Amino acid sequence: MAKTAFLFPGQGGQFVGQGQKFLDKGPYLADLWALAEEISGLPIKKISLEGPAATLNDTLNLQPAILSLSLALAKILVSEGAEPIVAAGHSLGEYGALTLAGVITEKEALTLVSLRAKLCQKAALDHPGAMAAILNIDSSEVEKLCELALGVGTVVAANYNTPTQTVVSGEVKAVSALVRYAEMKKAKALVLPVSGAFHSPLMSEAAREMAELLKEVDFKKPRFPVIPNAKGEPVDDPALLKELLMEQMVSPVHWVKTSKAIKDFNPTEIVECWPKLFVGSLVKKCPPLDQNAIYRVPA
């Protein structure tokens, strides 16, 4: 029997029409979209299937759209026989991992994420920011560039995606300066099409409000370990899972550490609850590189 590690994506891999091919895979997607629409008050199904892209990419719509689809795909995978031994989610995706593990319910997850989206949107309006992916240099070099750019404004390493791909986040002028510094070092820098400086101090107010919301939610013992972003190591204590989720909006996504932790479970397959590999492709690029697991998405 396959030992399966489950991955849940965050923002970035979305596309108009996402979910279309899974509508005939049972009631899972229709039910999750209906629940997401009831909770958020948004036409999640229509936005996911028809767009337009600008509407789908709006944080307010995007976060419940991604979570509802990824939860449905997780249920499809389980119905087809995949048995999770560990789960992890990139940023927003952590809510999916916690749901699959039984720590929170689908309704709780979608309620929290719909509120999270509103808080993120407000923070982006109140404190305009930017994010950029820095490629082809080590993360320790990116951290040094962040220190250098602090003379211009706030900027931090936000996502440690692979050993040579680190996303920075912060004030627009500071991110722009860091991009220039990175290019001077012959690194490749890509400014990301996002509305705010996620996983940075610019999200502090939103993080405090999110922590207050999380205090009211009863976290259950997970059925299998979950790897939180803020730690990058497996956790099965519900109190610690809640504490780390409270930190998540302002702490980095430790995906390199997460990838190693996933591979330490020696899964026979690593499945991503998304129509195509997105964060799974990052796991493949992280050491150890000789891991023999099959990487796949729902068919």
**pLDDT on residue 3:** 92
> pLDDT per position in the chain (299 positions), as tens?
679 999 999 999 999 999 999 999 999 999 999 999 999 999 999 999 999 999 999 999 999 999 999 999 999 999 999 999 999 999 999 999 999 999 999 999 999 999 999 999 999 999 999 999 999 999 999 999 999 999 999 999 999 999 999 999 999 999 999 999 999 999 999 999 888 999 999 999 999 999 999 999 999 999 999 999 999 999 999 999 999 999 999 999 999 999 999 999 999 999 999 999 999 999 999 999 877 899 999 99
Active-site residue, from 90, 127, 199, 254? 199
Domain ranges within the chain, ordered by starting residue = 4-125+201-296, 129-191
| Rounded (10°) CA dihedral 272, 273, 276, 279 | -50
Asked whether 280 and 295 are in contact (CB, 8 A), the reply is yes
**Residues 6+ away with beta carbon under 8 Å from 148:** 178, 181
**pLDDT on residue 176:** 97
Q: How far is CA 141 from CA 105, 168, 176, in A?
A: 40, 12, 17
Which tokens hold the place of 189? 């820098």
First to last CA, the chain: 19
Closest by CA position to 247, among listed 199, 213, 286 = 199
Asked whether 134 and 167 are in contact (CB, 8 A), the reply is yes
Phi then psi for residue 177, to 5 deg, are: -65, -45
Active-site residue, from 91, 176, 200, 259? 91
User: Catalytic site residue 254?
Assistant: no
Return the SS3 of 119: helix
CA–CA gap between residue 249 and residue 74 (Å, rounded): 24
* Amino acid residing at 275: P
Q: How far is CA 26 from CA 18, 32, 79, 169, in A?
A: 16, 11, 10, 40
**pLDDT on residue 1:** 63
**pLDDT on residue 291:** 74
**pLDDT on residue 2:** 77
**pLDDT on residue 28:** 97
User: Catalytic site residue 91?
Assistant: yes
Asked whether 84 and 5 are in contact (CB, 8 A), the reply is yes
**pLDDT on residue 292:** 85
- Asked if domains 4-125+201-296 and 129-191 share a fold, the reply is no
Closest by CA position to 298, among listed 45, 112, 39, 20 = 20
**Residues 6+ away with beta carbon under 8 Å from 251:** 199, 229, 230
Q: At the topology level of CATH, where does 4-125+201-296 sit?
A: Malonyl-Coenzyme A Acyl Carrier Protein; domain 2 (3.40.366)
Q: At the topology level of CATH, where does 129-191 sit?
A: Alpha-Beta Plaits (3.30.70)
Which tokens hold the place of 288? 């150890």
**pLDDT on residue 162:** 98
Asked whether 131 and 145 are in contact (CB, 8 A), the reply is no
CA–CA gap between residue 168 and residue 174 (Å, rounded): 10
